[in-house]
Amino acid sequence: MPEAVHVGSGKVRELYALDDERLLLVASDRISVFDVVLPTEIPDKGRVLTGLSAFWFERTRELVPNHMLGVREDGRSMECRRLEMLPIECVVRGYLAGSGWKDYRATGTVCGHALPEGLRESERLPRPIFTPATKAQEGHDENITREQAAELVGAERFEEVERVSLALYEFASRHAAERGILLADTKFEFGLDGDELVLGDELFTPDSSRFWPAGEYEPGRAQASFDKQYARDYCESIGWDKTYPGPELPDEVVQGTRSRYLEGYALLTGTELE
Ligand code: PZK
């Protein structure tokens, strides 16, 4: 069998070409904190993320076809259909966090959605909103208006990705809420297989979504992240300036963080990771 050819790197994932039609998406155990990849890995993190994507891809097939062909024995590698990726990030927000909160505070709007006055950080929105962004090569994606997004993918395709994104968010946020987890926001990447719209990338993982423990939810402040809070708190406690390189994590922080990933996986999927 011809070997896999490395074609791309994300912060914590690698992408390989298997042949003209198939890719291999490999989730590592690397963790990024404040946008810097740390020198210490979190055992099983890659298997948790790939397992979560697989769980959601299987359950959302009726809403939209996706690129997953199968997960390999290692649990971290997903064989995928090769797509022509659309040039926008498809974000849905049910709560005001991250760049959504930043933009709202500055302008009272997010991606052209006029929102009620007086919303607080982390507050639940009257209804979920679709907030597309550009794909930055380096640094942060930039929020764009619906009009800008429609120019990039075409008006018809824009309407389709908006409708499908909102349906996916509604499906997963309901599932998560029934298990005591709030899905604050999430990012999708779509591609085309010919003329067919296909969901790609990862799906409802903690690297593409903000999950908050519902029991600790309190609007008016930033929320603790389900998975990374131990690691973030440790990094802040030692006075790290959030520039490269990041600090090594002590074993208790590694084990605490690993437990949070495994706990989140079990809560959401109803099964333990093997
Ligand atoms: C694709 N990325 C992001 C970059 C990563 C991930 N099914 C697909 N077909 C074609 N291209 C892609 C996909 C997917 N998914 C995804 N870039 C291209 C990316 C680097 C490392 F793990």
30 C-beta closer than 6 A to ligand 1: no
Average pLDDT, the chain: 97
| Local confidence band at 119 (pLDDT 50, 70, 90 cut-offs) | very high
Contacts of residue 124, Cβ cutoff 8 Å, sequence gap at least 6: 94, 95, 219
CA of 141 to the centre of ligand 1 (A): 16
Residue 1 predicted with pLDDT over 70: no
268 C-beta closer than 6 A to ligand 1: no
User: What is the percent of the chain with per-residue pLDDT over 90, rounded to a whole number?
Assistant: 96
What are the residues facing 78 on neighbouring strands?
Answer: 25, 71
CA of 32 to the centre of ligand 1 (A): 19
| pTM reported for the whole predicted model | 0.98
* DSSP label at residue 66: B
Q: For tokens 């490269």, name the residue.
A: 244
pLDDT tens digits, one per residue of 241-254: 999 999 999 999 99
pLDDT tens digits, one per residue of 35-81: 999 999 999 999 999 999 999 999 999 999 999 999 999 999 999 99
213 C-beta closer than 6 A to ligand 1: no
CA distances from 250 to 19, 32, 100, 236 (A): 41, 15, 33, 14
Contacts of residue 197, Cβ cutoff 8 Å, sequence gap at least 6: 64, 65, 157, 160, 161, 164, 190
CA distances from 60 to 196, 199, 224 (A): 16, 10, 28
Residue type, 233: D
| Local confidence band at 138 (pLDDT 50, 70, 90 cut-offs) | confident
pLDDT tens digits, one per residue of 86-95: 999 999 999 9
Q: Rounded CA gap, 99 and 235, in Å?
A: 22
pLDDT at 158: 98
pLDDT at 139: 77
Kind and range of the H or E run holding 31: none
Q: For tokens 């959302």, name the residue.
A: 60
- Collapse the DSSP code of 36 into the 3-class scheme (helix H, G, I; strand E, B; otherwise coil) and give the result: strand
* The ligand 1 atom nearest the CA atom of 25: 22
| Local confidence band at 15 (pLDDT 50, 70, 90 cut-offs) | very high
Of 180, 102, 100, the C-alpha closest to 132 is: 100
Kind and range of the H or E run holding 274: none
pLDDT at 136: 83
| One-letter-per-residue 3-state SS of 126-186 | EEEEECCEECCCCCCCCECCHHHHHHHHCHHHHHHHHHHHHHHHHHHHHHHHCCCEEEEEE
CA 85 to chain CA mean position, Å: 16
- Collapse the DSSP code of 191 into the 3-class scheme (helix H, G, I; strand E, B; otherwise coil) and give the result: strand
Angle of helix 229-237 versus helix 251-269 axis, rounded to 10:
160
pLDDT tens digits, one per residue of 200-228: 999 999 999 999 999 999 999 999 998 99
